[in-house]
Amino acid sequence: MDLNKVQKFLLKEIADLTDTPTGAYNIRSDSQSIGRQSTENVDIVPKENVSGLDIFIKPNSKGETVHIPVVMTKSGLKEEVYNDFFIGDNAEVEIVAGCGIDNCGAHDSQHDGIHRFYVGKNAKVKYVEKHFGSGEGAGRRILNPVTEVYLEENSSCEMEMVQIKGVDDTKRTTAAELKAGASMVVRERLMTHQKQQAYSVYTVSLNGKGANADIVSRGVARGNSYQKLDLKIVGNAECKGHTECDSIIMDSGRILAVPALEANNVDASLVHEAAIGKIAGEQLTKLMTLGLTEAEAEEQIINGFLR
């Protein structure tokens, strides 16, 4: 692939790519695929009627990787992309996605990515999605990811959802349905600055005996930014569900956490934990006695919190 400086910068930030990835991949830039590769066990097929891909992971395949990052460098570009993943029974795969927008112009740039995962019996999926914005233009960087996960019996999905810098407006919607013995782990990390807004919505339905979910969201709201988290687990069988939202508020930031637990079975065990607060003064003092400035101490605490 022949990449320019901005494309390379964005791919490094969202997918830790400094060269053409090994394994299966599709690299998308400004609404076009600029590189694609299938492998023996992973087939990447462009959709016919809408923008997006169908990705097929063969049953029983192990150690597979799929990179499907998106970068946008043109101000005013708006796109909607549908990617469907079909993970065969007993397969194990790591999928690295994410989107980076560099907007140096006056018009808003927006990427709406809809990812749907159909995970077969006993299959294991790790999904990493990082969002990032850069550029000095007045146009906003807007990202609206939608993630749907359908887990068959005894399958599992581990998700890392990260947005740390540069995204002006985002609505992040995640829905999951788990059958018997299926498990889901989500770790979300968000930081907003200035007048940025981030809205996260989770709805996880535990539909089969032994299904379990552990959803943890950590956020930092700085400047005049605003974050809202709607987090709901529905227990429709004998199951276990745990949610946690832990947030730091700074400057004139605002955070609203709306947890919800719905038990529709007497053997559903559901727990929620939530905390919102400022950085503790004793934490700052301790670090400042080691020679750090107050600003440096704050950064150290935030970096550790969002790790």
Q: Is the pLDDT of residue 1 over 80?
A: no
Tell me whether residue 217 is in a domain. Answer: yes
Task: State which residues form the domain around 264.
Answer: 5-280
Tell me whether residue 291 is in a domain. Answer: no
How confident is the model at residue 245, as a pLDDT? Answer: 93
How confident is the model at residue 210, as a pLDDT? Answer: 98
Q: Is the pLDDT of residue 234 over 90?
A: yes
How many structural domains are present in the chain?
1
pLDDT tens per residue, range 107-125 = 999 999 999 999 999 999 9
Q: Are 111 and 79 in contact (CB under 8 A)?
A: yes
**How open is the CA angle 172-134-16, to the nearest 5 degrees?**
75
How far apart CA 262 and CA 109 sit, in angstroms, is: 37
Tell me whether residue 130 is in a domain. Answer: yes
Q: Is the pLDDT of residue 134 over 80?
A: yes
How far apart CA 136 and CA 160 sit, in angstroms, is: 28
Q: Is the pLDDT of residue 307 over 90?
A: no
How confident is the model at residue 283, as a pLDDT? Answer: 81
pLDDT category, 304, cuts 50, 70, 90?
confident
Kindly state the greatest CA–CA separation across the chain.
61
Q: What is the DSSP string of 228-274?
A: EEEEEEEE-SSEEEEEEEEEEE-TT-EEEEEEEEEE-STTEEEEEEE
pLDDT category, 174, cuts 50, 70, 90?
very high
pLDDT category, 221, cuts 50, 70, 90?
very high
Q: Is the pLDDT of residue 200 over 80?
A: yes
How confident is the model at residue 62, as a pLDDT? Answer: 97
Tell me whether residue 105 is in a domain. Answer: yes
How confident is the model at residue 212, as a pLDDT? Answer: 98
Q: Is the pLDDT of residue 187 over 90?
A: yes
Looking at per-residue pLDDT, the higher value among 302 and 157 belongs to 157
pLDDT tens per residue, range 34-61 = 999 999 999 999 999 999 999 999 999 9
pLDDT tens per residue, range 275-284 = 999 988 888 8
Tell me whether residue 150 is in a domain. Answer: yes
Tell me whether residue 136 is in a domain. Answer: yes
Tell me whether residue 60 is in a domain. Answer: yes
How confident is the model at residue 282, as a pLDDT? Answer: 83
> What would the mean pLDDT of 139-160 be, rounded to a whole number?
98
How confident is the model at residue 195, as a pLDDT? Answer: 96
Tell me whether residue 304 is in a domain. Answer: no
Neighbouring-strand partners of residue 220: 191, 248
In 3D, which of 143, 124, 123, 146 has the Cα closest to residue 133?
Answer: 143
For residues 83-93, one letter each, b for 16 or more C-beta atoms within 10 angstroms of the residue's C-beta and e for the rest, the string is: bbbbbbbbbbb
pLDDT category, 80, cuts 50, 70, 90?
very high
How confident is the model at residue 290, as a pLDDT? Answer: 83
pLDDT category, 301, cuts 50, 70, 90?
confident
pLDDT tens per residue, range 242-252 = 999 999 999 99
Q: What percent of the chain has pLDDT over 90?
A: 87
